[in-house]
Amino acid sequence: MAATRLNIPNTLTALRIAALPVFGWLWLQGSTAALWVMGAAAFTDLFDGLLARKLNQQTALGARLDPVADKLFVFVSLLVALWRGAAPLWFVETIVGRDAVMALGAIAVMRIDPAYYKGTVWKPTFLGKFASSSVAFVCGMIALEDLVLPGNTLGWILTALMAGCGVLVVATLLQYAVTAIRGLRAAKAERERASAGGEGDAPK
């Protein structure tokens, strides 16, 4: 049966996005209920993709919405954590800055070679998935430290986790940049070969 846009996985993703204002407000107020919302969001994020595959309900909309929901949750978490003094500015700048640079890079690739951009399936790499999971985990640890644990309980452990996470996201930025540059060069070389072949076949 063909998947429709309104299905269980997409509904779970939409609910995750709808919960963002509640999550942000609860954390701003210092309520531990924010952790329950974060946990529920992580649960739905874990199972919406699995359900989509098991129920044959994979859609283009779901493929776009799921990463958007993840990014929005991380973005809200980082902003609230920064506002409450639970996360250092350098960590927030690293995560948000990486995403901003990648967005600008995607726009640049689209303008440089629209055909290559549209014809390429941009799938996340293993390193990219691992980095995203690490960011989400660290955001959870920051919330736990801020809302539940007394004082500076995690201390250097949390700092080390943030540093490692920062290294990972920068590494993914470099990986995607190298992939895009190589792809652009290969696409250009392919067009040049095709053009040269066409000229060689032209009647004299």
Q: pLDDT tens digit string along 136-164?
A: 999 999 999 999 987 778 889 999 999 99
| Residue 24 resides in a domain | yes
pLDDT greater at residue 60 or residue 156: 156
Of the listed ranges 26-35, 47-56, 77-86, the least confidently predicted one is: 47-56
Domain identity same for 114 and 177: yes
Please give the torsion angle defined by the CA atoms of residues 140, 136, 31 and 153, in that order, rounded to the nearest 10 degrees: 20
Single-letter amino acid code for the residue at 160: A
Tokens of 133: 């999971």
The predicted structure's pLDDT at residue 77: 95
Using the 3D structure, point to which of 41, 69, 97 is the last residue of a domain.
Answer: 69
Q: What is the spatial distance between Cα 192 and Cα 40, in angstroms, rounded to a whole number?
A: 52
Closest C-alpha to 64, from 116, 9, 133, 18: 9
Three-state secondary structure string covering 171-194: HHHHHHHHHHHHHHHHHHHHHHHH
pTM across the whole model: 0.82
| Residue 76 resides in a domain | no
The predicted structure's pLDDT at residue 90: 96
| Residue 78 resides in a domain | no
Residue 1 has pLDDT above 60, yes or no: no
| Residue 119 resides in a domain | yes
Domain identity same for 178 and 91: yes
Domain identity same for 33 and 63: yes
Q: Where are the alpha helices (DSSP H) in the chain?
A: 8-18, 20-28, 33-54, 60-83, 89-112, 114-119, 126-147, 156-201
| Residue 189 resides in a domain | yes
Domain identity same for 204 and 132: yes
Domain identity same for 107 and 169: yes
| Residue 79 resides in a domain | no
Domain identity same for 10 and 100: no
What is the domain count for the chain? Answer: 2
Domain identity same for 168 and 133: yes
Q: pLDDT tens digit string along 68-118?
A: 888 999 999 999 999 999 999 999 999 999 999 999 998 999 899 888 888
The predicted structure's pLDDT at residue 201: 55
Domain identity same for 58 and 94: no
Q: How many CB atoms lie within 10 A of CB 172?
A: 20
Domain identity same for 102 and 202: yes
Burial 185-204 (b: 16+ CB within 10 A, else e): eebeeeeeeeeeeeeeeeee
| Residue 126 resides in a domain | yes
Residues 6+ apart with CB under 8 A from 19: 37, 40, 41
**pLDDT confidence of 2, banded at 50, 70, 90?**
very low
pLDDT average, residue stretch 3-30: 84
Closest C-alpha to 170, from 103, 107, 99: 99
Domain identity same for 2 and 60: yes
Domain identity same for 58 and 98: no
Using the 3D structure, point to which of 14, 34, 69 is the last residue of a domain.
Answer: 69
| Residue 75 resides in a domain | no
Domain identity same for 43 and 138: no
**pLDDT confidence of 200, banded at 50, 70, 90?**
low
Q: Give the structural domain span for 43.
A: 1-69
